[in-house]
Structure 1
Amino acid sequence: MPTPHETEKQHIGPEEADQPPSMSSHDAAPPAAPSRNPCCLCWCCCCGCSCATPSPEEVRSWAQSFDKLMHSPAGRSVFREFLRTEYSEENMLFWLACEELKAEANQHVVDEKARLIYEDYVSILSPKEVSLDSRVREGINKKMQEPSAHTFDDAQLQIYTLMHRDSYPRFLSSPTYRALLFQGSSQSSNEA
């Protein structure tokens, strides 16, 4: 289901940028990348995944830092659902696509994935265009002549920062997150 184009674009300066949690080789990498039409909203995109029901401790940890939320498959899933309600799911989809691209070693696949990411999230003609400043957009346009697994690093950082500064605080005060906290505290009380 296509998400409506955001009416207002926000720009984040480099002085506001935080480092995103990259799923580099030293992290526990997910077994598979998300497909274009996932059956569930987790990174691994398998219907029987363990991220469907996060533990109460895991849910509480998401409020400690945005990095903890983004490192958690269940956290990414819940946050993505929240972003969908704000018509900004494309930010998470772009971030995930960049993570998938960074894990790719085959140059032919990198070229194709980079082209798809560009068409889906960077092109001004895309209904899922993410909000990027002109400097980052120009850099991508130059890098697209010879794409690499890191073509979108600056853009990914900018979108990560946007989600962290803009959407994450609203997520923490949302009924969705509060319901998960309440469910976790009820579960803990029942077990005691």
Structure 2
Amino acid sequence: MRDIKSMGAAWSVLEWLVGLSSKTANNNLTDGQSEDFSDLTSTEVKSWAESFEQLMASRSGQRVFREFLRCEYSEENILFWLACEELKQERNPEKVEEKARMIYEDYVSILSPREVSLDSRVRENLKRNMMSPTQHTFDEAQLQIYTLMHRDSYSRFVNSPIYKELLRRTGAEPCVNLSSI
């Protein structure tokens, strides 16, 4: 029964993503622009299964992975990672401090509903770093969340109905793992 429900959710998300229309959900990736997935190529979509780095280097890959994580109730991980990437681009010291405090409140504070899972050592380092935040205040925490997504969610993503359907719609054939035959 659970598989049928999750497939239904996966199809709904996929229909939104591949967007039989070009509507997008209300979100704000780093630049807040809406994306249309009609220009995805099979090569790009297939490359996402080759490495997590290629998935995360692609704006469309980030967007699809974010929707997958939303279905898994762990969207806060990629949102935190994206916020840290945006912070690294900021050059204005006042804005760096403001953005760092927002990231801390939104993703690190134990009061946040979008709290990411960080170990106590990293949390303590962050507390100290927040006394004088820089663009690199969250580097260690960001790496920990990146590693978590890579080790925990990525393999489920490339085996998910969402990703397989995206492969099919772009004309790519899913990679066949000969060891499973």
- Asked whether the two chains share a fold, i.e. TM above 0.5, the reply is yes
The residue that corresponds to 2:72 in the other structure is 86
The residue that corresponds to 2:32 in the other structure is 45
Q: Structure 1: which 5+ runs fail to align?
A: 1-37, 188-192
String of CA shifts for 1:19-49, please: whole Å, max 9, x gaps: xxxxxxxxxxxxxxxxxxx7457544323x4
| CA distance in structure 1 between the aligned counterparts of 2:60 and 2:94, rounded to whole angstroms | 31
The residue that corresponds to 1:21 in the other structure is none
Where relative contact order (Cα < 8 A, 6+ residues apart) is larger, the structure is: 1
2:43/2:172 contact within 8 Å kept: no
Taking structure 1 as the reference length, the TM-score comes to 0.73
| CA distance in structure 2 between the aligned counterparts of 1:39 and 1:124, rounded to whole angstroms | 26
Deviation at 1:53, TM superposition (A): 3.8
Structure with more helix by fraction: 2
Q: Structure 2: which 5+ runs fail to align?
A: 1-24, 174-181
Structure-2 change in CA distance of 1:82 and 1:51 (3 Å): same
The residue that corresponds to 1:107 in the other structure is 93
Indicate which of 26, 39, 53 corresponds to 1:67: 53
Letter in 2 for 1:86: E
Query: How large is the RMSD of aligned CA atoms in angstroms?
Result: 1.8
The residue that corresponds to 2:110 in the other structure is 124
Structure-2 change in CA distance of 1:166 and 1:186 (3 Å): closer
- Structure 1 consecutive aligned stretches of length 4 or more whose deviation exceeds 3 Å: 38-44, 49-53
1:57 aligns with 2:57: no
SS across alignment from 1:185: coil
Q: Which moved more, 1:91-100 or 1:51-60?
A: 51-60
Same amino acid, percent of matched pairs: 60
Taking structure 2 as the reference length, the TM-score comes to 0.77
The residue that corresponds to 2:124 in the other structure is 138
SS across alignment from 2:66: helix
How many residues in Structure 1 have an aligned counterpart in Structure 2? 149
